[in-house]
Structure 1
Amino acid sequence: MTNKPNVILFGIDSLRRDFMSSYGYYHQTTPHIDKFAEEGVLFEKHFSPSIPTTPAYASMLSGRDCFGTDVVALRHKGPMGEGTKTLAEILGDNDYNTTCVGFSNNPSARGFQKYLDYEAWLPDETGRCPKAENLNDVAIPELKRLQAEEKPFFLFLRHMDPHSPYMPPRPFERMFYAGDEKDPDNKSMEPVYNFKPHADFFKSWIPKGVTDKDYVIAQYEGAIAYMDACIQNIFAQVEELGIEEETLIVVTADHGETLYEHECYFDHHGMYDNCLVVPLIFQYKGRLPEGKRLTDPTLIQDITPTILEIIGIETDLPFDGRSLVNMINGDGPEPVAEFYITECTWMRKHGWRTPEWKLIQALEPDFHFKPEIELYNLIKDPGENRNVADEEPEVAALLQKRMKAYIAKRERETGRVNPMYTNTGYHGFGEEPMEDSQQAYETMYLGSITKAKGLQADDKKQTVK
């Protein structure tokens, strides 16, 4: 047994918590993670405030917010913010072996000693992509190698099954669907295929002739269930190796997913709650409570400081997140009441979320032709379907004031301009902001699976240092 505990962090891409049976979803999508949660601590209201992938993982793996990391865009240029250290770097400095699976091409994955990749985009000869099995093929041998070493280890696993394209293998592709996906009378996929920026991407992986949106949503559900079954292989391996009592295991996600909501089809843009809600579950047998569920809101930047306190590593590094150990033990900290939210995916927007209200403000015109200001009452309208900005101008003004005050405070504390104001080239189509929504609609074309995969790939030299 090592002196310090091992850490396995499942950083699942695009997993929204409200589609997990662990969190009450009506389909049993995550039976193995459900059992895992019953033996650990589950946070019911965990949020990822800065989407998409790159800023979310930057916060998850550094304990900093987007001002601290200086990262807000998917295609971030350059390193993370000055003075920011990743969890991999911190643990490496503390004599850990560190391995990252599935995330070698991104600045937010900086600092691991070893990177392993697997196929998580392109279909096999069956037209499906067994993403989680592909991950297991490299992750399980690496887990065995790490366990055999004299040092404690940190293993980061980026599962991609809930990330589009949703291509779970049989029988998971029909596990939650019994209809006729090619019913000619069903018109629900017409707006999806008519959305020019992403239509060719959808057509490159959704089977030809599919007319029913519920079939595609069932692919997302099936992908989660398939991944859950494969994750059980890793849980079983930990048990087989006899290290379950010396290993902290964390299950979380970088952001959620939009399925058919808000016209942001089968992607993760739009700062609606479907993109912000993610799971967070800790299990450390004999060290953390079992079956505990906590209802206070938590943020993605809380993960790194929490892991460090649980495993007993002290650092003088600045964190914007807070350790949740006291919350787990029942004595604080004070809950997060409101927070800043950002997006630089296909739209550049920021906003402010409170328990009752959500303000979304566009920093340039978006390709969905949405208004500059959106305001939703999260109590009366939890689905965020009715924009009340015109009806509640005082509320919108108050939230803008609070957001601007927070931005000014964080700019003073970090000594740098809000990165939301400077990342005008976030979309990869030039550096100038879009002049109007029509220009954005005509310009931001996603293309095939291969092109979409390439958008997430950057110069590896900036990552593996």
Structure 2
Amino acid sequence: MKLSSMGRFRWSLLACASILIGTALLIGLGSDSKHARPNVLLISIDSLRHDHLGIDGYHRDTSPYIDKLARSGAFFKNAISSSSWTLPAHVTLLTALPPQQHGVVAPADALDSDALSLAEVLQQNGYATAAFVSGPFLRSLHGFAQGFDLFDDEVSATNNLASHQDRTSPALFERVRTWLMDKASRDSAPFFLFLHMWDVHYDFDPPPPYDSLFDPDYTGEITGRNFELGRDIHPGMSKRDLEHVIALYDGEIRYTDSYVGKVLNVLEQIGASEKTIVIVTSDHGEEFFEHGQKGHGKNLYDETIRIPLIISQPSRIRPGQVIETQVRLADIAPTVLGLVGIPQPPEFGATQTMAVGLDLSAPILTDFAPPGDLIAHSHLRLFDKMTSVRNERSKFIRKGGLENFELYDLAEDPGENNDLARKSGMPAFGEALRAAERDQILTSRDKPPFRKSAATTKPHEARLRALGYID
């Protein structure tokens, strides 16, 4: 879908600002600009709900280090993921393409090497690139290793079928710390470090003291284990037991937050804090029966597709920014390139189409606001096929057939409880969102997907089955 005339004008101003900022940055860097560019640390925390962070007003102190990071830079209150499960969302994060275009939408899919990733662009521009990942989908067999000098997925590859009950943050942190220390002692080339943290993903079994931190008085029998496939956690469970499950989820967030703090402390130790852009985000959220389901990958309501997004660099990004305008997961990769002064490749869609990510570096570095008419498309093809189209005020969700859709006025009904599509007649804003969905479908049809079959193994498939992703 094209931007409106006013949107095109505003985006043209923003694009010009980004170009000027990038040019000024490159001039300021001097002749050895590749080595003077800032580092980039991109942290994706799997299954992290936006509304369970202190910075977003949550009533529990789940995220002191993440909150501190957010206050030091820009916090985007309305960031929307491209999907509600791990694989397609992370492909979007690293390619700036929505699922309808990259095509990696099923557990057996992998990103084709013809796709251009953020890591490849940075690598081609002199960055040392490394990734440390956990969980079953952020694996080289799903195509995520391209562009990385070092791609370490051993934490996720060596665990057993119950690995969703493991705690991966300690091992992950030790590998990251060793790499950062070694890199600092070896050379001064800028680095791109991608870190995928898995522990917030179910099962919810944080270690002491996090297991009782937010619900010390619970005396029931419910645990956070076997969250997806077990029978104890269901829509009819008692309110008190569900509160305990959510407290365990919050404990996982606080536990993971402590390791975010440890990574940031290593940056301090090696003298890299001021020259490192730090981004914290998530692939999707988690639902606790707000709409009848648990976990993720089953719906496209905001509890699963609205995600945190924080971008900080103390030496360049003004602290305390809270950006209310809606942005997308697909905007992160182009924004990274804008912040480091690398021109956008055509594959990242440096155009006005709504189907690809946009560079938001100008709003972060200046007083420009992001374009207020960005539309977020989300896609799901795991258990059922669903699409959603969301602007800042309203949301259209299609489930399966052409006439099976829902419509919500988010300004009046942020919990998405009052389906306006069930009322008589379709409101005008609903027709506009439905037209945006049609435009996205037509745009995607003209572009072949960057998808191939993943070379899965029987142990890998067994692990996905244990997590409930495949039958």
TM-score when scaled to structure 2? 0.77
- What is the alpha-carbon distance in structure 2 between the residues aligned to residue 355 and residue 81 of structure 1? 35
Q: Which range moved further: 27-36 or 42-51?
A: 42-51
In structure 1, what residue type is equivalent to 2:79? H
- What is the alpha-carbon distance in structure 1 between the residues aligned to residue 202 and residue 376 of structure 2? 28
Q: What do residues 29-71 of structure 1 show as CA deviations (whole Å, max 9, x unaligned)?
A: 0001111112111111111132321221111111222344233
Structure 2 residue aligned with 1:114: 150
In structure 2, what residue type is equivalent to 1:166? F
Q: Does 1:104 align with 2:139?
A: yes
The match for 1:343 among 380, 394, 402 is 380
Change in Cα spacing, 1:245 to 1:256, as seen in structure 2 (3 Å) is same
Change in Cα spacing, 1:257 to 1:388, as seen in structure 2 (3 Å) is same
The match for 2:313 among 278, 281, 284 is 284
1:163 partner SS: coil
The match for 1:321 among 339, 357, 360 is 357
Equivalent residues of 1:257, 1:267 under 8 A apart: yes
Equivalent residues of 2:92, 2:330 under 8 A apart: yes
The answer for unaligned runs of 5 or more in structure 1 is 366-370, 429-446, 457-465
Q: Give 1:88 deviation, angstroms.
A: 0.8
Structure 2 residue aligned with 1:199: 229
Equivalent residues of 2:200, 2:253 under 8 A apart: yes
Q: Does 1:312 align with 2:341?
A: yes
- What is the alpha-carbon distance in structure 1 between the residues aligned to residue 257 and residue 154 of structure 2? 17
- What is the alpha-carbon distance in structure 1 between the residues aligned to residue 147 and residue 90 of structure 2? 13
In structure 1, what residue type is equivalent to 2:229? A
Change in Cα spacing, 1:181 to 1:123, as seen in structure 2 (3 Å) is farther
Q: Give 1:148 deviation, angstroms.
A: 2.7
2:291 partner SS: helix
Q: Give 1:452 deviation, angstroms.
A: 3.3
Q: Does 1:62 align with 2:95?
A: yes
Change in Cα spacing, 1:404 to 1:38, as seen in structure 2 (3 Å) is closer
Structure 2 residue aligned with 1:262: 291
In structure 2, what residue type is equivalent to 1:116? D
Q: Which range moved further: 279-288 or 375-384?
A: 375-384
The answer for unaligned runs of 5 or more in structure 2 is 1-31, 350-355
1:263 partner SS: coil
Equivalent residues of 1:256, 1:268 under 8 A apart: no
Identity of aligned residues (%): 26
Structure 2 residue aligned with 1:159: 197
Matches within 5 A, 1:293-304: 293-304=322-333
Equivalent residues of 1:182, 1:210 under 8 A apart: no
2:431 partner SS: helix
TM-score when scaled to structure 1? 0.78
RMSD: 3.7
The match for 1:89 among 90, 110, 120 is 120
- What is the alpha-carbon distance in structure 1 between the residues aligned to residue 376 and residue 122 of structure 2? 29
Equivalent residues of 2:82, 2:92 under 8 A apart: no
- What is the alpha-carbon distance in structure 1 between the residues aligned to residue 295 and residue 278 of structure 2? 29
1:57 partner SS: helix
Change in Cα spacing, 1:333 to 1:182, as seen in structure 2 (3 Å) is closer
Q: Give 1:453 deviation, angstroms.
A: 5.1
Q: Give 1:399 deviation, angstroms.
A: 4.9
- What is the alpha-carbon distance in structure 2 between the residues aligned to residue 76 and residue 246 of structure 1? 39
Q: Give 1:156 deviation, angstroms.
A: 0.4
Equivalent residues of 1:120, 1:134 under 8 A apart: no
- What is the alpha-carbon distance in structure 2 between the residues aligned to residue 58 and residue 18 of structure 1? 24
Q: Does 1:19 align with 2:52?
A: yes
Q: Does 1:387 align with 2:419?
A: yes
